[in-house]
Amino acid sequence: MSTPAYGYDVLHNPRLNQGSAFSLEQRKTYRLEGLLPPGVNTLELQIARTHAELAHLDNDLQRYLFLSDLQARNETLFYALLMSDPATYMPIVYTPTVGEACQKFDHVFRATRGMYIPIDARGRVKELLRNWPEADVRFIVVTDGERILGLGDLGVGGMGIPIGKLALYTACAGVPPMHCLPVTLDVGTNNVALLEDPLYLGLKHERVRGDAYHAFVDEFVDAVQDVYPKCCIQWEDFANFNAVPLLARFRDKVCTYNDDIQGTAAVALAGIYAALRISKQKLTDQRFLFLGGGSAATGIAELISEAMVLEGLDIDTARARNSLFDVNGLMVKSRTDLADFQKIFAIDHEPVDVFVDAVKALKPTGIIGVSTVPQLFSQPVIEAMSELNERPIIFPYSNPTSRSECTAEEAYRWSKGQAIFASGSPFPPVQIDGRQFVPGQGNNVYIFPAMGMAVFATEATRVTQAMFIVAAKAVAEQVSGESLDKGLIYPPQSSIFEASMHVAGAVAQYIFDHQLARVERPADLVAHIRSAAYSPVYR
Long-range contacts of 163-167 (CB under 8 A, 24+ apart): 163/68, 163/113, 163/114, 164/93, 164/94, 164/95, 164/98, 165/94, 165/141, 165/234, 165/236, 165/259, 165/448, 166/139, 166/141, 167/71, 167/78, 167/79, 167/82, 167/93, 167/94
Looking at residue 152, the DSSP 8-state letter turns out to be: B
DSSP 253-271: TSSEEEIIIIIHHHHHHHH
CA distance 356 to 376: 9
Pairing label, strands 322-326, 288-291: parallel
Is 379 in contact with 364 (CB distance < 8 Å)?
no
CA distance 365 to 384: 11
- Taking the CA atoms of residue 393, residue 397, residue 398 and residue 402 in that order, the dihedral angle to the nearest 10 degrees is 80
CA distance 293 to 331: 8
DSSP 304-372: HHHHHHHTT--HHHHHTTEEEEETTEE-BTT-S---HHHHTT-BSS----SHHHHHHHH--SEEEE-S-
Q: How many CB atoms lie within 10 A of CB 223?
A: 18
Cα distances from 7 to residues 35, 48, 71, 495, in angstroms, run: 8, 26, 20, 38
Looking at residue 459, the DSSP 8-state letter turns out to be: T
At residue 214, the 3 state secondary structure works out as helix
Pairing label, strands 288-291, 180-186: unpaired
Q: Which residues are catalytic?
A: 94, 165
Q: Count Cβ atoms within 10 A of the Cβ of residue 340 and give its class: 0-12 exposed, 13-18 middle, 19 or more buried.
A: exposed
> What contacts 411, CB < 8 A, 6 or more positions away?
377, 382, 394, 396, 419, 421, 439
Cα distances from 458 to residues 276, 449, 506, in angstroms, run: 32, 14, 12
Looking at residue 401, the DSSP 8-state letter turns out to be: G
DSSP 86-151: HHHHHHHHSTTHHHHHHHTGGGS--S--SEEEEGGGTT-HHHHHTTSS-S---EEEEE-SSSBTTT
H or E, element range at 232: strand 232-235
Is 260 in contact with 284 (CB distance < 8 Å)?
no
